A and B are shown apart, each in its own frame.
Chain A
Amino acid sequence: MNNDTNYTDAFAELQQIVNEIESGEISVDVLSEKVKRAATLIGICKAKLSSTEEDVRKILKDLDASEH
């Protein structure tokens, strides 16, 4: 669930930055920092779209554990 939380948080944080941008709350002073952060968050989220980390063996092992 850690990864989920990460991308969910990343998505939420990105939305936050977008909202700040849209409402004009970002000054030139923090612009560079925010843009850099947004790029990182977009990267995390985009990676999540096209990757899977699930391991069938692990799930089967957990299944076995619950059934015996």
Chain B
Amino acid sequence: MLEKISMPETQRDKQIFSLYEVTRSIQKTIAERYKSSFWVKAEMNKLNHYSHSGHCYPELVEKRDGKVIAQIKANLWKSDYQRINARFLKVTKEHIKDGISILFLASIHFDPAHGLCLRMLDIDPIFSLGELEKEKHESIERLQAENLFRKNKLLSLSLLPKRIAVISVETSKGYADYLKILQGNPWNYRVFNMLFPALLQGDRAVESILYQLGRIKSVHQHFDAVAIIRGGGGDVGLSSYNNYQLAREIAMFPIPVFTGIGHSTNETVAEMVSFKNAITPTELADFILQHFHNFSEPLTNAARLVNTFAEDLLNRKQQQFANSVQLFKIITSNALTRHSAGLKTTSHSFYSKLLLAINTFRHSLRTTHETLNTGAESFLQHQFDSIRQQKSMLGSNASVVHGNEVRKIERLHHSVTLLDPVNVLRRGFSITTDGNGRVVKSVTELKSGQTIRTRLADGTIITEVKKISNHDTHE
């Protein structure tokens, strides 16, 4: 075949071709052999899109049990790429990217300078969509089979999810929206956010997010939750979130993982297994604030309840007390009235009895008085009569007594007259006295030479004692 297109030299019996001749020959052969284009199924290992030229040089592989069993380079020229990618994006919501399975229309080419390659003329987006869906379903089924699907959802979230590890891009619109809602909340709720920057879309998204999840996991005790926030990406590039490894890591994460990925298509697996999936980062921020509300509201209610209750209870007790006082008053008043009536009755009865007693006594007194009067009168009368009787008796006896008495007195008078010393003296008796006038009754009272006076009836003799003799001696 080579002879037909080349002019080989002959040296020492050897036919020699230049490399160009050879490659030209290959080129010709292949061009003749592969005249038409054909559909090929392969994995887009690398797209190798050069943004400067706009061309792509994809690496295509086929794997079996994880091993590459076939590979080939391909060309995707700028104009083809733009057309194909636009349609692919429209159907699959994904750019043509590394790692996806594709069905493409290709022609085979050989270029002497660049070698063998497939020229990609078209890519069937429906096939890739199916493949993406298949990957998604496989992820879900595997997680379910491993009993991990609801694992993160079953964690308990802190009462206040206020320490959030955020996986996002610092400059992304989604993260800005999220922060704006949290930081601008009018209730002065404070949420601590710490950013762990990652690529949220594109070929390296899975790897990048997994890396940050790993870092957060090592310090998860500082956080209440993880928030994966993507913004501004629209519905494109979500297939990363159907990745089994990523979804598994989220499901098994030790603290709740929130997702706010921001799209309107079907939920991705990562979102399905997350503790909470918010449609947008804004909604995620609201979800967090809602927890603050849920915490704050009972506090406000409790404060109100405690106040109201304390007031009510005091009022009620006061009312009860007032009622008791009122009741007490009524009871005591009744008792007082009752006792007062009793007292009055008793008093009345007492008074009556007293009056009766007084009257009885008075009557008895009067009777006694009358009896006494009558008694006294008759007694006095009796006494009086007795006196009068005695008086009259006394009168009749008096004259007799008087006569007797007169005679007695006359007799006595006679005796007394007889005893008068003058009469005695007249009868010859005398009275001798000493110098001092004392009556001398014994001779012993006298001494010789003493002057004595002797009274006779008609005069006195003054004599001097010459001699004294006793009658007994009889001299």
Contact = CB atoms under 8 A, between A and B. Distances in A.
Contact of B160 (A42, A48, A58, A67): A48
A49 B305 contact: no
Interface string A43-66: 001101111101010110011001
Given A14-B299, A21-B306, A31 B219 contact: no
A54 to B, nearest CB: 4
Interface in B211-251: 215, 218-219, 221-222, 224
B219 A59 contact: yes
Nearest to B316: A28
A11 B222 CA distance: 21
Interface string A21-48: 1100010100100110011001001101
A52 B310 CA distance: 33
A48 B162 CA distance: 9
A54 B306 contact: no
Contacts of A17: 302, 306
B189 A50 contact: yes
B398 interface: no
A49 B192 contact: no
A66 B218 contact: yes
B351 interface: no
B222 A54 contact: yes
Contacts of B159: 4, 7-8, 11
Contact of A67 (B191, B215, B303, B305): B215
A31 B316 CA distance: 13
Interface residues of A, number: 34
A50 B222 contact: no
A1 B221 contact: yes
A31 B313 contact: yes
Interface string B277-304: 0000000000000001001101101110
B189 A49 contact: yes
B158 A4 contact: yes
A59 B163 CA distance: 12
A63 B298 contact: no
Contacts of B215: 63, 66-67
A18 B298 CA distance: 9
A49 B188 contact: yes
A50 to B, nearest CB: 5
Contacts of B160: 4, 7, 48-49
B362 to A, nearest CB: 67
A8 B6 CA distance: 88
Given A7-B159, A28-B313, A63 B218 contact: yes
Interface in B65-112: none
13 contacts: A1-B221, A7-B159, A11-B159, A18-B305, A21-B309, A22-B305, A26-B313, A34-B306, A35-B306, A48-B160, A49-B189, A52-B163, A54-B222
Top 9 nearest A-B pairs (CB, nearest first) are A66-B218, A52-B192, A54-B192, A50-B188, A62-B219, A38-B306, A21-B309, A52-B190, A59-B222
Given A11-B298, A48-B160, 13 more contacts: A1-B221, A14-B298, A18-B298, A21-B305, A26-B309, A28-B313, A42-B302, A42-B303, A46-B299, A52-B162, A52-B191, A54-B163, A66-B218
